[in-house]
Structure 1
Amino acid sequence: MSRLLLPLQQHPRTADQPADSLLHALKRLPRRVQQVFLLNRLDQLPFAEIAARLGLPLLAIERHLNQALQTTREPGDALASVAIQWYVRLQSPEVTASERIDFRRWLDAAPEHLHAFHQTELRWRSLQAPARLLGQDGWYRQGRAALSLGGCSVTIALGLAALAALGLWA
């Protein structure tokens, strides 16, 4: 998502959300969504490369990025929600010419649409600093197995504890 579709002014963050609330919103996301978001935002990997690296379909990458951006918008802002969906979809390698035409029609239908899309681009830019904090130790660059290992080790430990409690492990 490194290329932008409209010219933008340089703003460090949107006025409606400071960086700490954006970081908090990102931390509440599922770990896989965070990973996809960070690979795209920090490492600027395209959808296809993220999908190949994580063994996920392109649609899942799109859905995860959409989820990440949706958590940063104001609740109840339906226009922002639509703008975010367009923003993410337009970055997908699976976007069709017909969808691009539909987007252009949506954008031209009302000045509010252009403003909402512009705000989405500003919001995307404002996520750079919180993303750096969220991914500062590089955890997100680990593959699928490394992320899953944490849950597996907890399950194994609980299983061994249960066996020990029943006296079957000694």
Structure 2
Amino acid sequence: MTRLLLPLEHGPQVVHTPTEDALLHGLKRLPRRVQQVFLLSRLDQLGIADIAARLDLPLLTVERHLFQALQSALPRGEPLASIAGQWYVRLQSPEATTCERIDFRRWLDAAPEHLQAFEQTELRWRSLLAPARQLGQDGGYRNGRAALSMGGCSIAVGLGVVALIAFGLLG
């Protein structure tokens, strides 16, 4: 999702985006799997289908994670920004249908504010590159499946303790 979907005919308009530190903070607050999907898209420039195959996830889940990452940079309480973000992610999907593309074009042409919101969404996506580089600098996001959640770790530790007790090493 690195290419712009629309040409910026009148030059980029001023977009009030949060600082890089605020964007990084927002990305760090996302769940690990969402961060991983976002970093594979943004840093490794993998498409939605490639990410889905690599992580063994449904395409719609990858789309949802990318939208969640994009939302961290979108202004709160602006419905047009949210709708534009949904369109931005959906149009990147190989499952986006011709009918959806036509619906998008109708939405875009319905009001000048829609075009402006979509252009700002594209610029916000680009503004996430520097924070993404900071977040993914160790390259850990490339390691197959996302790191285990605390719940998964708790189960693994519990099973390990049970195994040690069973073998008489604890107790």
Q: Which TM-score tier does this pair reach, normalised by the shorter chain?
A: 0.7 to 0.9
In structure 2, relative to structure 1, the CA distance for the partners of 1:143 and 1:151 (3 Å cut) is farther
1:2 to partner: Cα distance:
1.9
1:67 to partner: Cα distance:
0.8
1:16 to partner: Cα distance:
2.9
What residue is the counterpart of 2:78 in the other structure?
A: 77
Counterpart mapping for 1:103-142 below 5 A: 103-142=104-143
What residue is the counterpart of 1:37 in the other structure?
A: 38
Structure 1 gaps, min length 5: none
Aligned partner letter, 2:73: T
1:155 to partner: Cα distance:
3.7
Matched, 1:147 2:137: no
CA distance in 2, matches of 1:20, 1:46: 26
CA distance in 1, matches of 2:137, 2:18: 21
| Mapped contact 1:14–1:126 kept (Cα < 8 A) | no
1:120 to partner: Cα distance:
0.2
What residue is the counterpart of 1:87 in the other structure?
A: 88
Q: Secondary structure at the match of 2:41?
A: helix
Q: Secondary structure at the match of 1:37?
A: helix
In structure 2, relative to structure 1, the CA distance for the partners of 1:16 and 1:3 (3 Å cut) is closer
Matched, 1:97 2:94: no
CA distance in 1, matches of 2:133, 2:154: 28
What residue is the counterpart of 1:157 in the other structure?
A: 157
> Greater helix share, 1 or 2?
1
What residue is the counterpart of 2:24 in the other structure?
A: 23
In structure 2, relative to structure 1, the CA distance for the partners of 1:10 and 1:115 (3 Å cut) is closer
CA distance in 2, matches of 1:88, 1:48: 12
Q: Between the two proteins, what is the percent identity of the paired residues?
A: 66
RMSD, aligned CA: 2.5
In structure 2, relative to structure 1, the CA distance for the partners of 1:134 and 1:14 (3 Å cut) is farther
1:5 to partner: Cα distance:
1.1
TM-score under structure 2 length normalisation: 0.87
CA distance in 2, matches of 1:57, 1:156: 26
In structure 2, relative to structure 1, the CA distance for the partners of 1:10 and 1:42 (3 Å cut) is farther
What residue is the counterpart of 2:56 in the other structure?
A: 55
How many positions carry a matched residue from both structures? 165
Runs of 4+ in 1 over 4 A off after TM superposition: 149-154
Q: Secondary structure at the match of 1:147?
A: coil
